[in-house]
C-alpha cells in the first residue's frame, strides 16, 4: 500500500490556529501539501502559517458565515491553483447540563459545529469537481459516538455531523469526492483545559490505552484520509480515542485455585 503523500494537493483546514487544526496544517505541509489555514483567532493563526512558510496562507474565517467560505475557497484557488481537501476541524465546546443549556447556547454550538461544516461541504464541491475529485474530512468527537453527560448541545451537533457525513458521502461519491469522519477522544488541546486530567501513561484511565492523545496522532489519521492512500474509503468512521468509545475497562478478574 502506498504511503501517505500529499504532494501537489491543496487543502483548507478550519480551526487551524491551535490544537488539532494547527497539527494537521503542519503535517499536511510536511507531506507536500499547500494549506489554507482559517480561524477566528487571527494572531495565533498567522503565527502558525508563518512558521509553516510559503506553502501556507492564513485567512480570518467564521465558519458559520457563508460569505467567509467563498473567501476561503477563492484564497485556495487564487493562491495555489486548485482545491483537493477540506478538513472541517473548527468547533466550539461548552459543558452545560441539559437543564441549564440555553437556546442561544445550543444554537451557537450548532452554527459553528454543524452549520459551519455544512457550508464548507457545499462551498468546496465545485472546485473539487474541477480538480477531478477530492477528500472531505469532518472532525466529530467521542461525543458523536456515545452519550457524555454535560454535552447535550455539543454531542447533538457532533452526532448531526456524523449523519450529514454519511449523506454527503453518498451524494458526492459519484463526483469523486470522498467524505469521512474522525472521532477524537480526549486529546491534549485547549478544548480539554476545563478537565482535570494528567498527561502521560495512566492519565486517562477511562480509555484502554490509559492516556490522553496528542494532536499529532489525530493529524496522522486525517492526513491518511486526505491522501490517495485512502482512495477507496468514503462514508467511514474512524475513532481516535485510545479505545474509550469501545466501552469501559473491565475489572481484572481474580482467579481462585
Mean pLDDT, consecutive 10-residue stretches, the chain (257 aa), reads 85 97 98 98 98 98 96 98 98 94 96 98 98 98 91 96 98 98 88 59 70 93 98 97 78 47
pLDDT at residue number 170: 98
Residues contacting 41, CB < 8 A, separation 6+:
17, 18
pLDDT at residue number 190: 72
pLDDT at residue number 1: 43
Distance CA 95, CA 180 (A): 26
Q: b/e for 127-159, b at 16 or more Cβ within 10 A?
A: bbeebebbbbbbbbbbbbbbebeebbbbbbbbb
Bridge partners of 235, per DSSP, are: none
Give the domain ranges of the chain: 10-240
pLDDT at residue number 214: 93
pLDDT at residue number 191: 64
Distance CA 69, CA 189 (A): 25
Distance CA 201, CA 209 (A): 8
∠ CA(19), CA(22), CA(26), 5° rounding?
Answer: 140
pLDDT at residue number 253: 47
Known active-site residue 232: no
> Position of cell 472531505?
136
> Per CATH, which fold does 10-240 belong to?
Rossmann fold (3.40.50)
Single out the catalytic residue among 151, 154, 183, 232: 154
pLDDT at residue number 206: 73
Amino acid at each position: 500500500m502506498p504511503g501517505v503523500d500529499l504532494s501537489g494537493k491543496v487543502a483548507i483546514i478550519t480551526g487551524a490556529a491551535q490544537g488539532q487544526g494547527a497539527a494537521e496544517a503542519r503535517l499536511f505541509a510536511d507531506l507536500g501539501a499547500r494549506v489554507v489555514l482559517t480561524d477566528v483567532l487571527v494572531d495565533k493563526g498567522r503565527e502558525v502559517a508563518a512558521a509553516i512558510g510559503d506553502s501556507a496562507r492564513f485567512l480570518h474565517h467564521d465558519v458559520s458565515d457563508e460569505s467567509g467560505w467563498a473567501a476561503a475557497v477563492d484564497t485556495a484557488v487564487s493562491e495555489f491553483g486548485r482545491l483537493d481537501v477540506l478538513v472541517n476541524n473548527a468547533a466550539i465546546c461548552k459543558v452545560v447540563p441539559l437543564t441549564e443549556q440555553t437556546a442561544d447556547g445550543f444554537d451557537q454550538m450548532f452554527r459553528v459545529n454543524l452549520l459551519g461544516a455544512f457550508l464548507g461541504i457545499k462551498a468546496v464541491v465545485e472546485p473539487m469537481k474541477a480538480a477531478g475529485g477530492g477528500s472531505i474530512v469532518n472532525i466529530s468527537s467521542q461525543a458523536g459516538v456515545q452519550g457524555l453527560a454535560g454535552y447535550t448541545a455539543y454531542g447533538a451537533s457532533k452526532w448531526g455531523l456524523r449523519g450529514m457525513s454519511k449523506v454527503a458521502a453518498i451524494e458526492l461519491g459519484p463526483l469523486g469526492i470522498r467524505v469521512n469522519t474522525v472521532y477524537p477522544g480526549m486529546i491534549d488541546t485547549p478544548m480539554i483545559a476545563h478537565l482535570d486530567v494528567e498527561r502521560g501513561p495512566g492519565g486517562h484511565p477511562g480509555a484502554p490505552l490509559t492516556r490522553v492523545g496528542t494532536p499529532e496522532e489525530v493529524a496522522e489519521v486525517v492526513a491518511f484520509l486526505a491522501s490517495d492512500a485512502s482512495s477507496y474509503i468514503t462514508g467511514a468512521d474512524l475513532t481516535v480515542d485510545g479505545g474509550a468509545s469501545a466501552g469501559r475497562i473491565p475489572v481484572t478478574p481474580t482467579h481462585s485455585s
